[in-house]
Amino acid sequence: MIGNRVTERDIRDFLTLEGYLGAGARFAELELAAIQRPGWLQIFRFAVTARHPERGSTMLFGAVRDDERHQTTIRLFEDEQERDALLAEWSTDLIVLRNSSGPAAGTIPLLILVAATAAAAAIAVALGTWLDL
C-alpha cells in the first residue's frame, strides 16, 4: 500500500471540517492511484469508516487531488463507483498505478497454471504410491 501520512492527516482534518470525528477515523484504504511527472500532482484513493455525531459510523470513499504547487482537493462519497468515476476523470493523462487491492493483469492465468501443476504433481505422487513405484 502506497500511502502518505501527510495525506492521511489532511483527510482527517477534512473529515473534521465536514462534521465527522476525524481523529477516530479508521482507514481501510489509502493508496496512490495516479501521478504526474515529476510528482507535483498526485491522486490518492481512500476508504474510511468515520463517525458522525448525529448519523453514526459511515463507510466513506474518497479521492484526493494533491497538487503541491497549488492546493489539495478532497471529495467524499458514500458510493464507491462515484469515487472511481472521479478518480478516472482526475487521472486522465497521468501515470495510473495498478489497483493493488485486486489481481494484477496476468495473475489469474498464472494462478491457474500453478494450481494445475500442483494437481498434476499430487496425482503423480498418489499414482506412484499406489503403483509402488
And the C-alpha cell for 73? Answer: 482537493
- Rounded mean pLDDT, 53-81: 93
Residue count of the chain? 133
Q: Answer yes or no: is pLDDT of 61 > 80.
A: yes
pLDDT band at 44 (very low <50, low <70, confident <90, very high): very high
pLDDT score, position 121:
60
Residue 69 has pLDDT above 70, yes or no: yes
Which tens digits make up the pLDDT trace of 82-130?
Answer: 999 999 999 999 999 876 454 444 445 545 655 556 666 667 667 777 7
pLDDT of amino acid 132: 73
User: Within a 10 A sphere around the Cβ of 26, how many other Cβ atoms?
Assistant: 11
Q: What value does the mean pLDDT take over residues 1-11? A: 79
